[in-house]
Amino acid sequence: MAYQNYIASRIISSANVSSSGTSAQSGRAPFGCTIVRIATSANVNIVINGNPTATAAGTLIAPADSECFVIRGDSSPTATDGEKVATIGTATVNVTFLEG
């Protein structure tokens, strides 16, 4: 089950990822990010790690849900080692990186 974040969190950045049947990646989680919020326009499967490829075996997110997950952001302001979100399914997926 996803981490339910009922405490206010600071928004660091947000972007849409378009997925149309093949795996698509978000940008890296930025420095200071500890939580990612996922919202989608249709059913998608997601995977979170350093260089993810989403498959149908990934975590299912339905359009009626928005889920929060723990994610590792860049280790410093100049680093490029933050995790990414990959999604598969025909949808627009909003990925919001949060500090919290």
Q: CB neighbours (10 Å) of residue 4?
A: 8
| 39-58: pLDDT as tens digits | 999 999 999 999 999 999 99
Tell me the domain boundaries of the chain. 16-94
Q: What is the pTM of this model?
A: 0.89
**What are the Cα distances from residue 58, in Å, to 2, 8, 10, 36, 88?**
13, 27, 27, 16, 9
End-to-end CA distance of the chain: 19
Q: What is the arithmetic mean of pLDDT over 77-87? A: 97
3 — pLDDT class (breaks 50, 70, 90) = low
Q: Pinpoint the alpha helices (H) of 10-71.
A: none
Q: Which helix (H) or strand (E) holds 96?
A: strand 90-99
Q: What is the arithmetic mean of pLDDT over 25-46? A: 96
